[in-house]
Amino acid sequence: MYEIRFHGRGGQGAVMAAQSLADAAVRSGFHAQAFPYFGAERRGAPVQAYARIDTKKVRTKSQVYNPDLLVIMDESLSELADIAAGLKPDGRVVMNTTKRPEEVDLGKGVDAVCGTVDASALALEVLKMPVVNTSMLGALARVWDVVPLESIVEAIEDRFGEKLGTRAGILNGEAARTAYDSTIIGRTLGRKEYGKLAEWAPAWNEIPIGNSLRSETRDGVAVGPASSSQNLTGRWKWSTPRYDREKCIRCLRCWWSCPDSAVIRLDDDYMRWDMDHCKGCGICADICPVNAIEMVQGAHTW
Ligand code: SF4
Ligand code: SF4
């Protein structure tokens, strides 16, 4: 049985990727399953999805702890946690990054066959949006030849076509083919030491007096009351709000609707943005009645 673990961020389409891979495997004569594991239900938060593929019926229902293949859809996730935990000795990796495989370090001893692809740039070029799931599936086919690219493209065209329309299905298939051709194959570096992983929440005697509660989850997210300022959610963003002060009528809607309190109200009721914590969800731009906020592609700090 082959086990695949997808690591992504909410909004990148990790779940659709796992489902499409399972669908492609079935088209190639395998049995397969796919399911997600969500942490915080937020755009940009770390998520995992799993797929299992076998020549016989798949009965295991657990999360994937010892993957044959690791799909890392956002490079920053590899800085936060021991992402390659449990990877089988002959396991493979595919990663969305501008780096070459020999520059990818997933922790001490992880010397794995690795395919790297700049899936974010490719998705922007082909799909005009930073949704990398189909590009990652194309790269996956290059790194790991169990499920052929043609079956993956067929599954993508059908699934995405049904959900988003025929044209979107074809474009996503094209993203997969382009990623397949662009993927660089090599081996990971295997030198980095990760710190000890903390439990979900601190014990009472671990909380410093006078400090906010703080802990690290396996995904490196601080939890506990008043911990939100410790999570630099601004690193998650793919698009950035641009504020036009001249258009602003100071209605305050953006200020109270931002889920990360990243819109800061000034004394005169104009706004400024905390880019360390703005995750680029676009809610402020959607809610602004006079289009004083425009979402611009990319992570900017203006
Ligand atoms: S895009 Fe707007 S609503 Fe979303 S996090 Fe940034 S400031 Fe807040
Ligand atoms: S929602 Fe628009 S108009 Fe209202 S305060 Fe924010 S930027 Fe200004």
pLDDT of residue 28: 95
Do 33 and 153 fall within a single domain?
yes
Residue 203 inside a domain? The answer is: no
Ligand lying closest to the C-alpha of residue 254: 2
CATH of the domain at 288: 3.30.70.20
CA of 230 to the centre of ligand 2 (A): 27
271 lines ligand 1 (CB under 6 A): no
Ligand 2, from 243, 253, 272: best to mutate by most atoms within 8 Å of Cβ?
253
280 lines ligand 1 (CB under 6 A): yes
Residue 53 inside a domain? The answer is: yes
Number of domains in the chain: 2
Do 165 and 255 fall within a single domain?
no
| Interstrand relation of 92-96 and 113-117 (parallel, antiparallel or unpaired) | parallel
Do 183 and 239 fall within a single domain?
no
Do 141 and 241 fall within a single domain?
no
Atom of ligand 1 at shortest range from CA of 263: 7
Atom of ligand 2 at shortest range from CA of 293: 7
Residue 195 inside a domain? The answer is: no
Instruction: Supply the range of the domain harboring residue 245.
Output: 232-297
pLDDT of residue 228: 64
How far apart (Å, rounded) are the C-alpha atoms in residues 166 and 162? Answer: 7
Do 167 and 25 fall within a single domain?
yes
pLDDT of residue 223: 58
Q: What share of the chain is helix, strand, coil (3-state, %, to 5)?
A: 30, 20, 50
Residue 18 inside a domain? The answer is: yes
Helices 14-27 + 133-143 axis angle, to 10: 50
pLDDT of residue 195: 62
Residue 219 inside a domain? The answer is: no
Residue 121 inside a domain? The answer is: yes
Q: At a CB cut-off of 8 Å and minimum separation 6, what does 101 contact?
A: 114, 115, 116, 184, 185, 186, 187, 188
Atom of ligand 2 at shortest range from CA of 287: 1
Ligand lying closest to the C-alpha of residue 271: 2
Residue 193 inside a domain? The answer is: no
Ligand lying closest to the C-alpha of residue 300: 1
CA of 226 to the centre of ligand 1 (A): 19
Contact in structure between 218 and 81 (CB atoms under 8 Å): yes
CA of 287 to the centre of ligand 2 (A): 8
- Token pair of 300, please? 């900017």
Do 242 and 177 fall within a single domain?
no
Query: Of the candidates 187, 215, 249, which is a domain's last residue?
Result: 187
CA of 11 to the centre of ligand 2 (A): 25
pLDDT of residue 214: 47
Atom of ligand 2 at shortest range from CA of 284: 1
Alpha-helical regions (H) of 54-132 = 77-80, 119-127
Ligand 1, from 231, 284, 291: best to mutate by most atoms within 8 Å of Cβ?
284
Do 252 and 149 fall within a single domain?
no
CATH of the domain at 93: 3.40.920.10
pLDDT of residue 246: 96
Do 39 and 151 fall within a single domain?
yes
Residue 44 inside a domain? The answer is: yes
Half-sphere exposure of 140 (CA within 13 A, CB side): 33
Give the angle subtended at the CA of 107 by the CAs of 106 and 113, to the nearest 5°. 50
pLDDT of residue 42: 61
How far apart (Å, rounded) are the C-alpha atoms in residues 119 and 130? Answer: 8
Do 164 and 290 fall within a single domain?
no
Walking along the chain (302 residues) 10 residues at a time, the average pLDDT comes out as 92 90 96 81 76 93 93 85 89 95 91 95 88 95 96 96 93 97 94 64 51 49 61 79 96 88 90 91 92 90 79
Query: Of the candidates 187, 220, 249, which is a domain's last residue?
Result: 187
Do 73 and 180 fall within a single domain?
yes
Contact in structure between 209 and 170 (CB atoms under 8 Å): no
Do 167 and 85 fall within a single domain?
yes
- DSSP, residue by residue, 246-260: TT-----HHHHH-TT
Do 139 and 239 fall within a single domain?
no
Counting beta carbons within 10 angstroms of the beta carbon of residue 265, is it exposed (0 to 12), middle (13 to 18) or buried (19 or more)?
Answer: middle
CA of 273 to the centre of ligand 1 (A): 8
Q: At a CB cut-off of 8 Å and minimum separation 6, what does 2 contact?
A: 52, 53, 54, 68, 69, 146
